[in-house]
């Protein structure tokens, strides 16, 4: 599991994190009642490119009971109301990744937004070589419980690989007995989620994010054109339907899904329809602890 990062690779992780920290703050500042989801997502994705990175996945804009995998469609006219908004944003530099998230609370539930942020800080404090992932989960669960909320137990933090947004190890949001020991050189995203509901999410019907499953021969011209763009630009990283240049992108994606060439990420929603909050940083495990790459400098 351990990643022996070269100095150059570590620097690219850092560069991705610095870009991401800046874009996270700028994007969060644009989340206000009446602003458009698509406008905020495209602002953040364009800004990432301006600063020298590439989006590692489409900007996730999750509202109220949504927890993950929600991003605007190409003609989305949704605007923010008095809601709980989670922004989850990723950057890569030559395939080396950083991942971060923040809750912007417009719903009047500041403590629910604070709970995962404080849980994240408690988790980061104990990260060093030899710490078990279950211990990190116990810290997260303890803080969120202390606020009177539940962690979302079937979502977790994760490792970040080269061109891989989700790798081992999983970092649970609750105490587990069988954990994996972190090692120096591991790059992990710590990602507490809190809810005033029961603490589980399930898949909804909406789907706007996809990723390549395998390369294959495709007969339909639009689907073939879409696949060429996916392989060349996004490789194995998630992408949005609105990123595709091909005509009839929705139909092309359906064809690619039917052939198991791409898979979709349905929006995940809290089972009880309750609010979900989130905070996330990327860290590199070091000999003496960890380095948070996505903090604002």
191 is in an annotated binding site: yes
Same structural domain, 89 and 219: no
Range of the domain at 224: 208-266
Same structural domain, 139 and 254: no
End-to-end CA distance of the chain: 29
**Averaged in consecutive runs of 10 residues, what is the pLDDT profile of the chain (297 residues)?**
78 98 98 98 98 98 98 97 98 97 98 98 98 97 98 97 94 92 97 97 95 95 97 96 95 97 98 98 96 93
- Reply yes or no on whether 42 is catalytic: no
Q: What is the reported pLDDT for 1? A: 44
Same structural domain, 120 and 84: yes
Q: What is the reported pLDDT for 239? A: 98
Q: What is the reported pLDDT for 3? A: 58
Q: What is the reported pLDDT for 4? A: 78
CA torsion 129→132→170→85, rounded to 10°? Answer: -90
Select which of 18, 45, 99, 186 is catalytic. Answer: 99
Q: What is the reported pLDDT for 279? A: 98
Query: Residue 160 sits in a domain of what CATH number?
Result: 3.90.230.10
Same structural domain, 74 and 151: yes
Select which of 65, 88, 139, 208 is catalytic. Answer: 88
Select which of 128, 166, 206, 213 is catalytic. Answer: 166
Total domains in the chain come to 2
37 is in an annotated binding site: no
- Reply yes or no on whether 281 is catalytic: no
Q: Is residue 100 part of a domain?
A: yes
- Reply yes or no on whether 13 is catalytic: no
Same structural domain, 86 and 141: yes
The SS3 of residue 51 is: coil
The SS3 of residue 5 is: coil
Q: What is the reported pLDDT for 2? A: 45
Instruction: Give the global pTM.
Output: 0.95
């Amino acid at each position: 599991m351990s990643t022996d990062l070269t100095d150059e690779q570590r620097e690219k992780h850092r560069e991705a994190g610095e870009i991401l920290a800046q874009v996270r703050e700028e994007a969060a500042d644009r989340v206000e009642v009446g602003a458009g989801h698509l406008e905020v997502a495209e602002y953040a994705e364009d800004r990432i490119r301006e600063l020298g990175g590439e989006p590692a996945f489409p900007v996730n804009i999750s509202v109220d009971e949504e927890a993950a995998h929600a991003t605007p469609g190409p003609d989305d006219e949704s605007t923010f109301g008095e809601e709980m908004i989670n922004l989850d944003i990723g950057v890569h530099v030559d395939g080396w990744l950083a991942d971060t998230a923040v809750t912007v609370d417009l719903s009047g539930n500041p403590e629910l937004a604070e709970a995962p942020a404080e849980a994240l800080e408690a988790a980061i404090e104990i990260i060093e070589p030899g710490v078990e992932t279950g211990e990190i989960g116990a810290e997260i669960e303890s803080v969120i419980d202390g606020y009177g909320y539940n962690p979302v137990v079937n979502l977790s933090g994760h490792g970040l690989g080269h061109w891989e947004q989700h790798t081992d190890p999983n970092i649970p949001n609750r105490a587990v007995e069988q954990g994996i020991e972190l090692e120096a050189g591991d790059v992990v995203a710590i990602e507490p989620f809190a809810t005033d509901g029961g603490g589980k999410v399930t898949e909804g019907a909406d789907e706007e994010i996809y990723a390549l499953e395998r390369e294959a021969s495709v007969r339909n011209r639009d689907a073939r054109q879409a696949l060429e763009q996916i392989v060349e630009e996004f490789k194995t990283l998630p992408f949005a339907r609105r990123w595709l240049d091909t005509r009839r992108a929705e139909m092309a994606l359906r064809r690619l899904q039917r052939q198991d060439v791409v898979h979709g990420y349905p929006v995940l929603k809290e089972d009880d329809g309750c609010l979900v909050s989130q905070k996330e940083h990327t860290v590199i495990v070091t000999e003496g602890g960890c380095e948070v790459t996505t903090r604002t400098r």
